Amino acid sequence: MAHGYNPQDVWQPNGRAFSQGVIQGPGHVVHLTGQVGWDANGRVVGVGDAEAQMEQAVDNVRRILDEVGGVLDDIVSMTIYFLDRTDLPAIQRVRSRYFTEGTAPASILVQAAGLVVPELLVELVPIAVVPPERFRRP
């Protein structure tokens, strides 16, 4: 599991689910393709609803990591692309449901002009490190 930290002498997350730094433990580095609000059949979940799309994207990440013995707490870094700044509270709500201080990944939020299809509002690009004792090849 990664260990996140937030030094007191830099700006603080103030309740948002990310860490200023993350110490990567030993294990297998897993780079994930960007995950969006597509269900298993490739249909957009929650058209017009960034929170529903973020939930679906996190669930996709969880399923991909599970395939190799990983869990969400193994994520060390995550880039989040979003379209509309007004969706940031919804994105943060979902992040706060899955990540807490000490386990939250280092993160970056990037406002984008668009994603792969017009209905998509958010995309996650995580990097995880799965400890050797849990890792299994798919």
Q: What is the pLDDT of residues 65-105, one digit of tens each?
A: 999 999 999 999 999 999 999 999 999 999 999 998 778 89
Half-sphere exposure of 94 (CA within 13 A, CB side): 20
Is pLDDT above 90 for 12?
no
Name the band, by pLDDT with cuts 50, 70 and 90, for residue 10.
Answer: confident
Which structure tokens are listed for 126? 């995580």
Name the band, by pLDDT with cuts 50, 70 and 90, for residue 1.
Answer: low
CATH topology of domain 23-130: 60s Ribosomal Protein L30; Chain: A; (3.30.1330)
pLDDT of residue 53: 98
Is pLDDT above 80 for 22?
no
Helix (H) or strand (E) holding 53: helix 50-66
The mean per-residue pLDDT over the stretch 32-49 comes to 97
CA angle, 38 as apex, 35 and 108 as ends, to 5°? 25
Rounded to two decimals, what is the model's pTM? 0.89
Q: What is the pLDDT of residues 50-67, one digit of tens each?
A: 999 999 999 999 999 999
72 to 2, 42, 97, 103, 115: CA distances (angstroms)? 10, 22, 11, 9, 24
Residues in the chain: 138
Helix (H) or strand (E) holding 109: strand 106-111
Q: What is the pLDDT of residues 127-136, one digit of tens each?
A: 999 999 999 9
